[in-house]
Structures are given as C-alpha cells and as structure tokens.
Copies of this chain bind each other. A is one copy, B any other.
Amino acid sequence: MIDLRPAIYVIGLVIVALGGMMLFPLALDWYAGDPNWLAFLQSGILCVVCGGAAALATANAARSGLTLQQVFVLTVFTWVAACLFGALPLILGAPGLGWTDAVFEATSGLTTTGATVIVGLDGLPPGANLWRGMLHWLGGLGIVIIAMLFLPVMKVGGMQFFRSEGFDTLGKVLPRALDISSALVQIYVVMTLACAVTYAALGMGGFDAVVHALSTVSTGGFSTSDQSFAKFAGPLEYAAIVFMLAGSLPFIRFIQAWQGEWQPLWRDRQVRAYLRWNAYAVGAIVGYELLTHDLPFETVLRETAFNVVSVFSGTGFTSADLSSWGAFPFALLFAVGLIGGCTSSTGCSVKVFRWLILFEAVKLQLRRLYAPSAVNMLRYEGRTVEEDVVDAVISFFTLFMLTFGLLSVALSLAGLEFETAVTAAWTAIANVGPAFGPEVHPTGALLAFPDAAKWIMVGGMLIGRLELLAVYVLFMPRFWRG
C-alpha cells in the first residue's frame, strides 16, 4: 500500500495557501462595502484549519522524497481538494450556489475550462468575480508547473520527450525546480499585468480588466459579464487575441526568453505550427463568412480571429453566437478545439506537440507500407523520438477519443440532448468552455443541466486537465499495491 501521508501533507499546505488567497476577494468585498467578504473569511478559515490540520497530522512522514506513485496521487488529489475548498465561497456567499453548482464552478475555474452555471454575473459582488478569475489563474499556473516539472518525470502522454529540455538544456541556466517555478511565476505575473494594463488602456474598467486578464493568460474563459467578450467588442478583441495566444504557447520558451534567449521561441516547431494552424482556420472561416454573409470585412476578421483563437487556445471567451455562423465554421471550431494549445502552456486538449507526433507516425506508417525496408525513425526538431514517446502519445490520443466518446454517451444518459451532450463532453475533456444545445442558457451558462450531467462534467474536466493518464492510473488496482 502506498504511504499517502506525504501527499496529504503537500495537499494540506496547498489548501492553506488557497485559503490565504481568499484574502484578495475578502479585501475587495470589504473595500466595496459588500457583506460578501464574510463568505471569504469563513471559507479562508475553513481552508486554513482543514489544510493545516491535514498538514500537521502528516508532517512527520513528509521528510522523505516522493515516489512515482505518490506524485500521481499528489497531482490528482491536489486538484480535487482545491476544487472542493475553492467552491466554499460560492456556497457560503454570493451567488449562494448549492454543492453541485459550486463544485462545478470551482472545477471549471481551476481546470481553466470556463463553463459557468451562473447567470447574472454582472450583478455578483466583485469579490466573487475576482475569485472566479483567480481560480483560473491559479489553476493555469498550477498546470504549467505540473507540466514542466512533474509530467516529464511521470512520463504521461509522451511528456518524457521534454524531460531533457526541462532539465538538461535549462540545467545550466536554472539548475533547480524552485528556480524554474519562480521564473515561471514572474513571467506569469508580468504577462497578467501587461494584459490587465492593455485591457484598461483600451477602455475596460479597472476591475473588469484585472479579472479578464486573470482568465485570459490562463486560457480560462470566465467573464464578469453574462455577455462574455461581446460586451468588449472592438479593439479589445485584438488585445485578447495576443494574450490568449501567449497563454497557449510553451512557457518553457518564455523562461528561455526571460533569460535572453529568444530564438528557441521563434524556432519552436510547436509554436510555428500552432500559429500557422490558427491563421489557416481564421483564413478559412473569414473566406467562408465573406462569401456567404454580407458583413463588413473588419467585423468578420475581428470576430473570426477572436473566436477561433479563443477556441484553439482553449480560452472559451465568446464575442459572437458561434452556432449561427453556419455549419462549416462550427465544424471547424469543433475540430480546432480537439487540437488545443502547446505543451507546458495553460492550454489544454490533445495539444500541438502530440498532433505533430501523430502526423509523423501516420506518415511513417504509410511509408512502411510500400517501402518496408525504409528507415523507421521518427524525428522531431532534429531529435530522434524514442518508441516509448510515440507509444505514449498515441495511447494518449486513443484514450482522449475514448473518454470523449464515453463522456458524450454518459451525458446523454444523464438526460442531455445529443448535440448538448457532445459539445458538453468536448468542452469538458478539452477544457474549452462553451457548449451548445437546447439546454444551454442564452448567456452560455449551463445552470439548467441535470446534476448528474454537472458531476460527469466535473470528472471530465479534471480528467482532461490532468492529462487523462495521470487520473486513469489511479483506477488500476495494481497501482495501489505499490
């Protein structure tokens, strides 16, 4: 049996930290004279007490390093615990959600999905909206740290390919994990501030700018308004495009750029492919819209670019009614959501790196058919990709599609219409944000979903965010035998 105490210790500390974070919305609501600050005080105390007790009870066992099994347990249950405790302020204070809705909202926040069950966002106390944005921001930061430090060691979904990159290459510059993390936090904070300042300069109110910046760089998608980004149509959309793209690029390259090495960023095959594919998708839809609708060019370009990048990066802001664009743009957006951002970004879904490996593997397979004696090596950025990386990538993809299918069937069993079930499964597994169908509120909120559907989506969002395998491995009986 695995010793769970070291994992519980860390999770306890994380919950204490989460409680500490509640001081920000507490202060804001206090300052705004909104009695909702009390909810954050209560929740914060609960977090500190529960988290602290857990950490204290297990502190003795926490001195040794972590085994691989413990890392898996730690990763998954940190998210689960944070989703439960992060939900507290939404239950104890405004908007006074029930358990199901609050956990859905917090999970949607921490997994950077951005699907909401709240209608009337514009009227929420500022602290509640700030907390929603902060959940995105913290979840995004957390996943980048996991992706950069843990996943390569855990060998999840082919991420071992980046093992040497995270450690060896950077090894000379940033010898320790703590240094990587601190560089990352600095970059993430600077990006967020730059985004908030840009939003404010282009006319967004200060508070809206901050919350939207939190949910932009984390490719989250929560908004302070029921209208999402439609409320900020215009130049602000172009600004958002820049920061959504930034949030979905590989942060490892930003760390290198932070150290003065900009070349790896521009030369990165993922970055180039990602930007190119975004441009293709925007071009295709702009062409289609101009041919089929009589709209001004700038409007079409802006709305298309904003919404395509929003889905591609997995942010999920909307500034137009996507389902009214026609079947082709809708189908393309659906496909784009299954690609997603780059590895070690806040983006989610299958990710560009894995698609590039899949394309190469298929090409190799085709070549083998007519030239069985040809060289069978898969190369990426000049490096040979080991067989175990290819296997892992391909297993990841298979599991992703399987999970997507199972979620669709499960959501339809929970009572959703077929279209709603499929798009909700899509938004959950790929952490995109929007869903479409008769049960979706005109604002895009999913409050009318049956409770069972909400819980299935909570599971789906966590599975998608934590790279599937990291979660599924916990369901193997032999895993626990250690």
Contact = CB atoms under 8 A, between A and B. Distances in A.
A416 B358 CA distance: 29
A69 B370 contact: yes
Given A331-B408, A361-B391, A154 B397 contact: no
A27 interface: no
Contact of A154 (B72, B358, B369, B476): B369
Given A398-B394, A418-B327, A469 B365 contact: yes
Contact of A395 (B68, B332, B361, B472): B361
A413 B292 CA distance: 11
A302 to B, nearest CB: 22
A419 interface: yes
A380 interface: no
A372 B67 CA distance: 13
Count the copies: 2
Contact of A398 (B387, B397, B419, B472): B397
B367 A476 contact: yes
Contact of A476 (B328, B366, B390, B394): B366
Given A361-B398, A365-B469, A473-B369, A421 B391 contact: no
Given A387-B387, A479-B370, A331 B365 contact: no
Given A395-B361, A398-B394, A369 B412 contact: no
A402 B288 CA distance: 22
A392 B332 CA distance: 28
A413 B288 contact: yes
A417 interface: yes
A251 B418 CA distance: 35
Contacts of A1: none
A416 B327 CA distance: 7
A291 to B, nearest CB: 11
B421 A362 contact: no
Interface of A: 68-69, 72, 154-156, 288, 326-328, 330-332, 335, 338, 358, 361-362, 364-372, 387-388, 390-392, 394-395, 397-399, 401-402, 405, 408-409, 412-413, 415-422, 469, 472-473, 476, 478-479
4 tightest Cβ-Cβ pairs between the two chains A and B: A327-B412, A365-B395, A331-B412, A327-B418
